[in-house]
Structure 1
């Protein structure tokens, strides 16, 4: 799945659920009164930040909801109900707080809080200055205008959330951090060799218990017609290989893995894929490269390819310039342009001649039968006024 990241100097948000009850909380009415009496403005790097719940001043301390602090600072927030503690994680930073305690831990170092945590309607509020300064930010308070101004350090990370995982990318240095499960402290898994030019989006694929395929898509140019897909394999929390594939006008996410029945164990194994658009590298579940396929050599077309389907027996690829979906049979290296087998009449002619907005057909691969002899495709004909999506089947082995 593509995970969009906010690429301004406001850091992307975090998911945080909190449903807890504490003794002697501040009432929501009292908090609302405090917020209304002394409304607070928060600026970060010159931009105004509007939290979901209003901050307030209590006994001279500015308080902000913990969830909003997480969203502001790009952290992951995890509540442990057994000991009423909160852990906030970020690259190179772990902050631990316990409700009712005047102490906190920053990277395992105990520090004193100048004010206690507050509970408002089952939402925890944190002294804003403490958490901001614990991350290395500069915090200034203007009492006359009731404004908190935060200046963050330059090495801000872009964050993306996957299934039970969180990733952080330092766009400037290429440092990449991974937390899996998501509440764990981030681990530096390596650096990405990249020259980012535009807006970024993330895809996080957990292929098996030890392997992740991460894709960072850089969409650039005017009007955003350039695509650089940086894909890399993480094995046991370490980047072991990375590729960059470049595309023009047409981008389709590359297939990242497939499963196959291992005849030695009679169990299903997973292979992971990386591509630079020309070479496809295959890795086993130990992170070892076991095969490599040269797509220009196999297809006879010297251009960049998207890998849209894969198995131990075949690859389904689309050349970026000519755009015709192609099946490569890996058993005999035969090549079939699928529009010739699946389309007819006006649809076939359209696939061969159309070049708006790019050349090629509109076939979409979506799966195979258990024995992988039948390959299934979607097709939306430009001549069908009902906008009907058709299901088409290609038989790899003739009946």
Structure 2
């Protein structure tokens, strides 16, 4: 073990001892802290054993592909990202090659706001906490910590690596805010701000996922409980235990069925479809606890191999997925398809059926399975070798030899149109593959290794692949945004106000896929902005209440901004839609063009008039602001229920149209 790792482990050991010293009762799995190197946090994994390629890591912060950048190091050397994949849902790294025996493995991830770590600062055991970056004017910063802090003493602050004098800032432990005083300039744009508090000031751990706050040490005074919602436990298991099935039927359909475990009021279940490259190409909301049958041909997918799985999510960010299963789709069933490792094969001589056996070109099948091929023309014999296994076939003979042992073939090797053809099942199984025949799609499926198909939210960025047609206005089912564009006759400033809580994934993907044509269809000179929102009533360190983007007339930039939105978070059914509309009206207030809001949500809004204390505005107040600023409001929302009752008032009073959110479905575009 080299000196770097010894030092790292020593730091972690000291931090753990310090944590146990001040209060052993507070220690828990959630208290694990990484150590800092510059603007990165470091997490050490177990050493390599020369065989294992999958490594588990346990970071001290909740990290995702969108809130940080993870880097992998082996023996202090950074590994290229193409050499490994990261499953952020299960916190595992899968490497293309197993690290050598004794190899030292670690990860680094860039520090983001709310991340915490242990550090001996100024000779005292302290917890470091990353505050939001500076913007040149903000002076008050919120400290979002996993711990309850009962003192404002012995804290410290660093801005861009320089320590701030204690006379230049204050910390209020009652509301967890750091204030930069007027005698010092406000932190500049993108400034890194790190705040430290001593472990001795900690009296407990904030409740999370149903856990209670530990009792403080004897004699300590507990800090006031913050107004933080306790997230309900997500109760749907994943993997092989997922409470749902996907059944392939002989008539080229599939039936989806889930149990009551997925039908809670804030749970949403989807049928997810990824192509052979692992890119999401379909996401279809399914009715929980009720079987649904889909025609594979009506999915509009090109011929090829796909992975289907079920996924249930809730408003709090909990999710569970079934094990992806391979599904071949053949739009030309008169031809035979061959899939190896999920990839559809292409042969100069098409596969043929010979008395019930599928024959494929010899060299192509052997080489695609990783075997070296030699041809002996005098004896018309083929020899293939791979990993200590030798296969010998002779043209016209029904006997082959595997490592010298004779095997009777279902069909002899033979010449067809000048190509040497061999039984695909024998060749694949002789080289260690598992072979399956799919009658509905007339496909041979061969897997040598179990595929790893990630089911995390980060892996499910919708992509229109080659062969999938971009939706157009002339399609049979005209996209909603195209219908809205027909009512826009003047250059306009348009704000998309989008609910981005956990249940909105499919609708957000729909908007992503259709927004480019919308931008092309509205009058020139129009500009577009986005206000994305969740719920201001819940402190969620992983999901911001609002994500706001400036106006742009660049459709590629607008598409990129939409692509950055991830449906996650949310607690109760109602969300902070009125606050989001208010922010959109503010953005439009100085506009000289026509003003328009496109409001997109599947949930009711918190209304000050009916739920005091949960909202800053009432429907009447927002309606008055829209009218005063002459803003037209269209909505993509439910056609029934409380959400409809609320939103229809805003739409009808502001010259807009309400569109059914059930039509904002990727299936409608095919």
TM-score, normalisation: structure 2: 0.21
Larger Cα-atom Rg: 2
Higher strand share: 1
TM-score, normalisation: structure 1: 0.31
